[in-house]
Structure 1
Amino acid sequence: MRRTSWRKIPNLTGDQEWTHDNETAVATWTVKAIDKRIIPEGSIIVISTLITVGFGLWVGMGYAAFLAALPMTFIFYKQAMQKTVFVYRATSNHLEVCRWQDIPDMVFIFIRVIPFVMIGIVLMLLISNPALSIAALAGPALVGIGLVSVGGDSSYQTYWQDFHHDEYLWSEVLEAMLDAEQGLIVLTLPYELPPEYAAQIENPEQFNSQDVRLYFRKDQQAEVISMVKDRIPDIELTPGRQIYEL
């Protein structure tokens, strides 16, 4: 599965502040990609949706259960298929990466509205069928209350739209892997844990490297691969498969 969006998006390089803007860029590109594991993120929501629909069909309220499942489906898409925006700028010596979560403001408004819809459905089920156990409907109600507390927190939006800027030296690249199927190149560079974290971890020396992912769409693939090969001519770009731990 290719992790990059098929839609072309504007090159946002000119909108960013670069540390090495005094160096001539040899390549710049912008891409949206799913930069995490997909199945674990969405499995809980899928299971919850199936339970909700199944319970609704069992008590003869399939339509209401379907309406209750719609918000869960939306949350699954948001969590499991959420893309990250990557803006890359490569010079002869440096690679800089700006990234942030591609979450429109409308999503956070929707999260604030969903809970009231879910609570309304729960009340409708209770009114239409008083024999239903309150305990059986507590799950959807608690989900709604939880979303209210999350969606209403301004720090939630700030957290998920957090901006990151990183820079690397081409001369420090140790290994390079091409995962053409998923649409990325993985560069391995040396890494040293900050002292405050190293003091809390047993055998901190094992965390001595870091991976940098260069995503690209199909129409960007040839240019990006050629640029990387030119920047690290002494390192072989080996085919492989990127495994996502988180």
Structure 2
Amino acid sequence: MFELNKNLELPPQLKWKFSYEPELLGWTIRARNYNTFVADAMFWFCFAVIMISSILMYRSMDDDPVFSGILTVLFFSVVSISLISITHQRMNFAYRLTRSGVEYCKWKDFPEWALTFLKWLAGITAIFFIFMATIDPSFLLGALIGPGGVGLTYLSMAYSKSYREIHTEYHHHEFKWDEFTQLAIATNREVVDLKYSVILEGDDFTTKWSLNIFCKRKQKEKVAELIRPFLSPGVPFIKAKVNVPLSTAP
């Protein structure tokens, strides 16, 4: 009906439960499915610590300003990239709305971009150190410490099965319209929040939680208006601040 974001490639194992029904609306999006205020505050605090540490490290190495500068840049780059990968992770989402309900898939791919960055960083700095070693043999030590360390980090990330499993996720959930008890348009995020009350398979009690539907900028009102007619009569429709939890479904 309206294009919400550039389509992502869906996971091959995904099978929509309501695939037999026409799709009223469907889209894919990459979003930060957690409290971004806390994550951003943590990022800037840690970034300041990394910056100060890099400056102090550079000033403590007085032997060779070029050698010291290269090592400092390597330290700053690797640690900063690691920090960003922790505080600014994004999850892939695919949503599908039909007359029966809403279902979504969320998955996280392994960050191949980080491997590419580390590989190029190790290669470029290694060439630089080897070239500088023709002028001063002491740069060979730098080639072992700097690019060598980056190379080992790349190998451990690229070929560690456990590391890849930690950074890869897949979940698929579906809900019927009569399971929702409140519809809200978030005032602080591009999110449509649906509170639900269901008895999960294998449980004998009711689970109450929220489904956060992540939307493209300025599209959440349209999504909410499409959903509203399918909800049970009397379900509240509000605008409110939404705190995105660490998990959007049990």
TM-score with structure 1 setting the length:
0.68
**What is the alpha-carbon distance in structure 1 between the residues aligned to residue 177 and residue 214 of structure 2?**
17
2:18 corresponds to 1:20:
yes
Q: How far 1:215 sits from its partner (Å)?
A: 0.8
| Structure 1 portions without partners, runs of 5+ | 1-6, 119-123, 129-136, 199-203
**Whole-angstrom distance in 2 between the partners of 1:177 and 1:33:** 18
- Equivalenced residue count is 218
SS in 1 for 2:54: helix
In structure 1, what residue type is equivalent to 2:92?
A: V
In structure 1, the residue corresponding to 2:185 is in which secondary structure? strand
Q: Report how far residue 224 of structure 1 moved.
A: 0.9
Q: Could you say if the C-alpha distance between residues 236 and 32 of structure 1 is closer, same or farther in structure 2, counting changes exceeding 3 Å?
A: same
Measure the CA separation in 2 of the matches of 1:152 and 1:43.
Answer: 31
CA distance in 1, matches of 2:69, 2:196: 53
CA distance in 1, matches of 2:111, 2:11: 21
Given the alignment, which residue of 95, 98, 106 partners 2:105? Answer: 98
Is residue 181 of structure 1 aligned with residue 179 of structure 2?
no
How far apart in 2 are the matches of 1:147 and 1:208?
43
Conserved 8 A contact 2:58-2:69: yes
Residue 87 of structure 1: CA displacement? 0.8
Q: Is the 8 A contact 2:179 2:198 kept in 1?
A: no
Corresponding position of 2:207? 208
SS in 2 for 1:214: strand
Give the TM-score normalised by structure 2: 0.67
Equivalent positions of 1:50-69 (< 5 A) are 50-60=51-61, 61-62=68-69, 64-69=71-76
Shift of 1:217: 0.8
Q: Deviations over 1:105-152 (max 9, x none)?
A: 33345467879999xxxxx9xx68xxxxxxxx9xxx999978865554
Q: Name 2:170's counterpart in structure 1.
A: 163
Structure 1 CA distance, aligned partners of 2:95 and 2:89?
Answer: 19
Whose radius of gyration is greater, 1 or 2? 2
Conserved 8 A contact 1:53-1:62? no
- For 1:10, the aligned partner's letter is N
Work out whether residues 26 and 92 of structure 1, in 8 Å CA contact, stay in contact via their aligned partners in 2.
yes
* 1:115/1:145 contact within 8 Å kept: no
Q: Give the counterpart letter for 2:28 in structure 1.
A: T
Matches within 5 A, 1:38-187: 38=36, 39-40=38-39, 42=43, 45-46=46-47, 49-60=50-61, 61-62=68-69, 64-108=71-115, 110=117, 149=156, 152-187=159-194
Rounded Cα–Cα distance in structure 2 between residues aligned with 1:224 and 1:30: 13
Say which is worse superposed, 87-96 or 103-112, in terms of deviation.
103-112
- Aligned residue for 2:217? 218
Alpha-carbon contact 1:89-1:95 (below 8 Å) kept: yes
Q: Equivalent pairs: percent with the same residue?
A: 16
1:239 aligns to what? 239
Deviation at 1:186, TM superposition (A): 1.3
User: Which ranges of structure 2 fall in alignment gaps of 5 or more residues?
Assistant: 62-67, 126-132, 140-144
- Amino acid corresponding to residue 36 of structure 1 in structure 2: Y
Residue of structure 2 in register with 1:121 after alignment: none
Comparing 224-233 with 107-116, which one deviates more in the overlay?
107-116
Higher deviation after alignment, 91-100 or 156-165: 156-165
Q: What is the rounded CA distance, in whole Å, between the counterparts of 1:193 and 1:54 in structure 2?
A: 54
